[in-house]
Structures are given as structure tokens and as C-alpha cells.
Amino acid sequence: MTGIRATDVAVIGAGPAGLAAAVAAVDKGANVLLLERDARPGGILQQCVHNGFGLHYFGEELTGPEYAARFAGEAARRADRVSFLPDTMALSLDSDRTITAVSPREGPLTIKPGAVVLAMGCRERARGALGIAGTRPAGVYTAGAAQRLVNLDGYLPGRRVVILGSGDIGLIMARRLTWEGAKVLMVCELMPYSSGLNRNIVQCLRDYDIPLYFNTTVSRVHGSERVEAVTVVKVDGKRQAIPGTERVVECDTLLLSVGLMPENELTRMAGIQLDPVTGGAVVDERRQTSLPGVFACGNVLQVHDLVDHVSREAEIAGRYAAGYAKAGTLPMPKLSVSAEGFTRYVVPQRISAEPEGMVDLYFRVGDAVKPARLTVRTADGKTILTRRKKAMTPGEMEHVKVDVSKLTGDVVVVTEAVGNV
């Protein structure tokens, strides 16, 4: 029961990132242990029964389970090289890459891999992080918890619903709950723009006449046993409540869709350097973290809005994890990549000494910019490329391809607002 398992690559998490990483690692000749805390692979996609997945990767629209099943199928076809460990929770990661884990079937496990891919995903921000005042009754849910209850358990969490935050899961749940006969009264968004995808605002709110109020938040929860109402209030430019704009909205449920946070407990345990902005590890273009042989991809690295990008990112991590497991080394970072202007962060944050071909830089802006100019330059002032964009919003991840042979120094990704021409 207490055996030590050796493997080329251990992948922690069998959501879309972990599955794609495992497949890519096998295709580069590695044996893979794929650890998953749930009984089945797929991660959060299992409960995302709506469609819209795969437009970029597969060129067709799939549901979450269908998207996951494609990759799970690829992993299953490589069953001789991928050991899938279901119901397995990784408990610790050491700086020598030793993993301890536990599962009902295997008991406590120690895994000594040649390389590790971190693919633990993210979690939702909860009420406590927002400091919403009032009572603590039943009926306050994160959007993802409500989604699981509806889509996997088959239960309705409430009948009159206010949603705080216009993140994608909240938007999707507005539509889902409406389909199930609940009345979604409104979506309140603290910011003057949505953090969700525009297509979701159209397809999940507008098509169902659900109002979306910007510059608006929930300041108080009412009700002793079950939610009876919430106080909704307008906020000013500093996101402070404007006195006199309070409105009590009767409802039995408050759903929170107020942001996702990479789940980096294991990363922290291993002493891996984290980016305070993304909440994920600092990585190079191979997705190698500051701890050699440990890679990160998917929502544990940066919160994505499209699973298609997760799969691509994970394939990079999986491929190089296999390479590391074989060679025992990879080129170390040489250049740093940083954000300037409206650019909030860039992934990867490093570029190694021997980059291969073109490198995709992924980034988000910190505020809505319309129109915008994007510049990639080196720290010594050489402009690599510029682009004009009609609009950029924090809700949509951007990316740009850079020819690394042109890089003579550290890289800066600048987003500026430009006047209308």
C-alpha cells in the first residue's frame, strides 16, 4: 500500500490541461502517471454541459464533456504509456519533485517522477474574500458550485436569483437557471465592463432579457435561515458604494461569479516562484517553472477564458516535460518578459537561452482600452512589432506571436490607449 512509484512524467490534474499534457508527453516518448482527484477525467468540463468549446482547437462547437472526452479518448488510446490514477489527491510536492498523494484504492503514495506537470486548475473566489456584510444564511453559492448541483446532481439551488459578477460561469448559469424555471433577476458587475466573454453576455443574458448592471455590487445579504433579499448598490469610480443608491432586491439565492484563482498550494509547497499578478507560477516559453523539471499549464498557471488555449498551453508543457525527463535538463531562462501600460501581465514571464522558433505571448489588459495600440519591444528600445486593436478588455485574453530570433534583450509588452484617428 505504501509503495514508491517512479515515472517519467507525473501530471497533477486530469482536467483539460492535464489530459493534453499527458497525451503530448506520451507522444514525446514518456511514460506518464496522471493523477486526478475526481473519479473521472475532465475536471470542471464535466459540469459544463453547454456548448461553445473547441471552436479554435477542433473547428467545431462541442459541449464541455464532449471536449474532455476527445482528450480522454486520446489518453485512453495511449493506455500502455499513461497510468490514470482516479480519486487521487496530491498532498505535497517537494523541491526534489517528490509527490505524496492518497487514494482509496492505493492508500498513501509516493511518486518520484523525472518531471512534473502542474495542472490543478483554479477555484472560485468566495464571499469571504469580498467582505459582503449581512447574515450568513443558506442560498449563497459560487456559480461553479451551483453549476455542479444543477448539472451533475440534478437539483435547483433557488428560484429567484441575483448573480454578482459577470464572469463566464455566472453568465452561463444565468441561462441554465432560467431554462430550469428559476427567475434570474439581474447580474451585478462591480466594474464598468464585464469579465466574461461578449458572446456569453449576448447568448446568456440578452437573449433572455436578464439585466446586467455595471458599476453595481451587492453590499448586504438578508435572511436568517435562507437568503430573503440582497442590498444592491451603485459604486463610484473608486468602486465605493454611493450612499442613497441602495436597493433591496427580494431573492432566495445569491450566486457569486467574481473571479477565479489558480490553485497553487502544491506549487507554494515546492518553493516555486509565483507571479503575484497571475497567481500562477513564473514560467518560460516551455512552461518550465523556477524549479527545473516542474512545468505548469492551464488555469493553475493563468486563468484562461477559452479551453482551446488551455490545451495548446498544456501540449507545450507536456512535450517539454517529456524532454526534461529524458535529458534531465533544459535551457534555463535568459530573458524576462514584462508588462507595461494597460498590459496587466504576460505569460510566459521568461524566455530561455535557446528558444525554438516563434513564441506566443499571452496577456491581459487591466482595464478596457478602446482603441488600443500594442507594442512588443525590447528593454533596449528596439520595437519588435506593433498592432492596432479596436478594443481590448480584461475579460478577453490576447496573444501575439513573436520571432525570438529578433530578441536582443528583455521583452516588454506595452498596451496604450490611442486617440481616434
Partner 1 sequence: MDRPDIFDCAIIGGGVTGCAAARLLSKYGLSLALVEAAEDVSMGASRANSGIVHAGYDAAPGSAMARLNARGNAMFDQWCGELGVPLVRCGSLALAFDETDQRSLEELYESGLANGVPGMELVSGGEARALEPLVNPDVIQALWAPTAGITSPYQLTIGCWENARANGLATFFDTRVASVERGDGHFILNADSGSSVRARYVVNAAGLYADEVARLFGDQSFSIKPRKGEYILLDKDGSAPKRVLFQAPSVMGKGVLVSPTADGNAFAGPTALDQTDKSDTSTTGEGAAELRRLALRSAPGLNLRAAITAFSGLRAVGSTGDFIIRASGIEPRLIHAAGIASPGLTSAPAIAEEIVNILANQGLRLKAKPDWNPIREPIERFAGMTRERQAEVIASDPRWGHVVCRCETVTEGEIVEAIRRGARSLDGVKRRVRAGMGRCQGGFCAPRVMETLARERGVSMDSITKFGGGSRMLVGPIRESVGGRAVEGEARA
Task: Say whether residue 156 binds partner 1 (CB under 8 A).
Answer: yes
- Candidate list 178, 219, 289, 349; residue touching partner 1; CB under 8 A: 219
Q: Which of 117, 80, 169, 114 is nearest to 298 (CA)?
A: 117
Binding to partner 1 (CB under 8 A): which residues in 107-126?
107-108, 123-124, 126
For residue 259, state whether it binds partner 1 (rule: CB under 8 A): no
Q: How far is the CB of 408 from partner 1 (least distance, A)?
A: 39
Residue in the block written with cell 424555471: 181
Q: Does 55 bind partner 1 (CB under 8 A)?
A: no
State which of residues 60, 61, 180, 340 lies at the interface with partner 1 (CB under 8 A): 180
Q: Is 400 in the site for partner 1 (CB under 8 A)?
A: no
Tell which one of 96, 153, 209, 380 touches partner 1 (CB under 8 A).
153
Min. distance of Cβ 55 from partner 1 in angstroms?
20
The residue (of 66 and 416) whose beta carbon lies closer to partner 1 is: 66
151 near partner 1, rule: CB under 8 A: yes
- The one-letter amino acid at 146: A
Q: Give the 3-state secondary structure of residue 51.
A: strand
Residue 243 binding partner 1, by CB under 8 A: no
DSSP 393: -
Q: Which of 96, 224, 276, 420 is in the footprint of partner 1 by CB under 8 A?
A: 224
CA distance 407 to 203: 42
The angle subtended at Cα 323 by Cα 319 and Cα 327, nearest 5°, is 175
Cell of 75: 489518453
184 Cβ partners below 8 Å, 6+ apart? 161, 162, 163, 174, 177, 178, 208, 210
Q: How far is the CB of 65 from partner 1 (least distance, A)?
A: 4
Give the gyration radius of the chain's Cα atoms: 22
Select from 154, 146, 136 the least CA-distant residue to 175: 146
Among 383, 388, 384, smallest CA distance to 415 is for 388
- Comparing CA positions, the residue from 165, 151, 207, 157 lying closest to residue 182 is 157
Q: Using the rule CB under 8 A, give the single segment among 87-95, 185-193, 280-288, 311-319 that binds partner 1.
A: 87-95
- Does position 277 interact with partner 1 (CB under 8 A)? The reply is no
CA neighbours within 13 Å on the CB side: how many for 74? 20
Rounded distance between C-alpha atoms, residue 381 and residue 393, angstroms = 26
Query: At CA 164, angle to CA 158 and CA 165, rounded to 5?
Result: 130
Closest to partner 1 by CB, 13 or 318: 13
CA angle 30, 35, 41 (to 5 degrees): 100
Angle at 123 between CA 126 and CA 78, to 5 degrees: 165
The answer to whether residue 172 forms part of the interface with partner 1 (CB under 8 A) is no
Of the pair 41, 348, the CB lying nearest partner 1 is at: 41
Q: Binding to partner 1 by residue 5, rule CB under 8 A?
A: no
Q: Is 138 among the residues that bind partner 1 (CB under 8 A)?
A: yes
The yes or no reply on residue 144 touching partner 1 (CB under 8 A) is yes
Examine residue 179 and tell whether it contacts partner 1 (CB under 8 A).
yes
User: Which of 4, 59, 96, 104 forms a contact with partner 1 (CB under 8 A)?
Assistant: 104
Give the residue, chosen from 137, 259, 366, 409, that forms a contact with partner 1 under the rule CB under 8 A.
Answer: 137
C-alpha cell at 39: 473519479
* Contact range with partner 1 by CB under 8 A, out of 52-60, 222-230, 292-300, 371-379: 222-230
Answer yes or no whether residue 31 interacts with partner 1 by CB under 8 A.
no
Q: What dihedral angle (degrees, nearest 10) is formed by the CA atoms of 131, 240, 371, 166? A: 40
Residue 102 as a binder of partner 1 (CB under 8 A): the answer is: yes
Cα separation, 392 vs 266, whole angstroms: 33
Among 27, 55, 78, 91, binds partner 1 (CB under 8 A): 91
Residues that bind partner 1 (CB under 8 A): 1-2, 37, 40, 42, 46, 49, 63, 65-66, 68-69, 87, 89, 91, 102-108, 123-124, 126-129, 131, 133-139, 142, 144-145, 148-159, 179-181, 219-221, 224-226, 252, 263
